[in-house]
Amino acid sequence: MFLRRLEEIEDKFYGLEKRLGDPECLKDQGHYRIIAKEHADLLPIVETFRNLKRVETEIEENKALIADSDPEISQLARVEVQELQHQRDELTERLKRLLIPKDPNDERNVLLEIRAGTGGEEAALFAFDLFRMYSRYAERNRWKVEILNSHPTGIGGFKEIVALISGKGVYSRLKYESGTHRVQRVPETEAQGRIHTSACTVAVLPEADEVDVDIDQSELRIDVYRASGAGGQHVNKTESAVRITHIPTGLVVQCQDERSQHKNKAKAMKVLYARLLELKQREQQEKISQQRRSQVGTGDRSQRIRTYNFPQGRVTDHRIGLTLYQLDQLLDGDLDPVIEPLITHFQTEALKRIDEGQEAQG
């Protein structure tokens, strides 16, 4: 089954290569780009498969030499077979990883939503810390961060903040951050020095295009009002804040960070599109098996995923049992020591399902 699928992919690759050389295909640049992208996506699989077939051939050739009457040639062949078998195992594992179904959202930008949960003002301060952590991680990756909506508190925290993070592969790196993030530390306002536990929820939503979600403008209720919070006298004089209600689903989004009502509406629509796409995808996931849902993974934002313990300088990701004593570095945006093991873990889980499926089929 595994080899048959690889052969089918190789045949498809040859077919795409032929179409790319067709003058008729070149005339339609839009169609040509689609074919070229599909061809490029299959190239790593086909190249690895070709290497695997070459190694298999060399194994057979060297096995034949093991029976040679010359002991030296026979011994060299045995050593060569062992090395080639190791290469074969590595190439097979790489192919399995390459065959893991790609998340179609991986290359999308994301809407990052952070909301203070239990813990009052301390939770709002932690929401600020999380936003700064993700912002600095974005800087390290040369991504752009644009705040779409925020509700700051008086002492420097956020009740809620929504931001658009744009760049290459943003969703593929941040998609496992959705869930409840818990903090354990002594609040600055706590005179007796007791450790408090607070929490924030983080949601990472792929940015939606208008073609992904069909919105009937007649099903929207748009309200404008005066913005509140920081911003000087201006916020009290103009009705620039926008609240949009999607009547069929009851979803409500709002934005007040821009002075222009038009800009606030545009930002609020970005959030609405993303939330409707998430709702649409969640409904689709409910229709498929539990196995497939687990493959999509960790989208439940109510799930407690990580604890940040300040007294011990410790961060624990509960999903994979990972504990690091690098709290300061992580909060400064050095998130790869957590993100890389998460990606590896969920890829490994997907590989297990591929192996189980192959065993079930024969």
Say whether both 80 and 28 belong to one domain.
yes
Helix (H, G, I), strand (E, B) or coil at 216: coil
pLDDT at 302: 54
Q: How many domains does the chain divide into?
A: 3
Say whether both 335 and 314 belong to one domain.
yes
Say whether both 273 and 256 belong to one domain.
yes
**Band of the pLDDT at 287, cuts 50, 70, 90?**
low
The pTM of this model reads 0.67
Nearest to 206 by CA among 261, 156, 276: 276
Greater confidence, 353 or 302? 353
**pLDDT tens digit string along 90-120?**
998 888 888 877 788 888 899 999 999 988 8
**Band of the pLDDT at 292, cuts 50, 70, 90?**
very low
Q: Which percentage of the chain shows pLDDT scores above 70? A: 86
**Band of the pLDDT at 229, cuts 50, 70, 90?**
low
Say whether both 260 and 335 belong to one domain.
no
Say whether both 268 and 312 belong to one domain.
no
Q: How far is CA 101 from CA 95, 105, 273, 292, in A?
A: 12, 12, 25, 11
Domain range holding 33? 2-98
Residues 6+ apart with CB under 8 A from 248: 219
Residue 271: give its domain's CATH number: 3.30.160.20
Between CA 184 and CA 297 the distance in angstroms is 26
For residue 51, is pLDDT > 80? yes
Instruction: Determine, yes or no, domain membership for 29.
Output: yes
Between CA 100 and CA 68 the distance in angstroms is 42
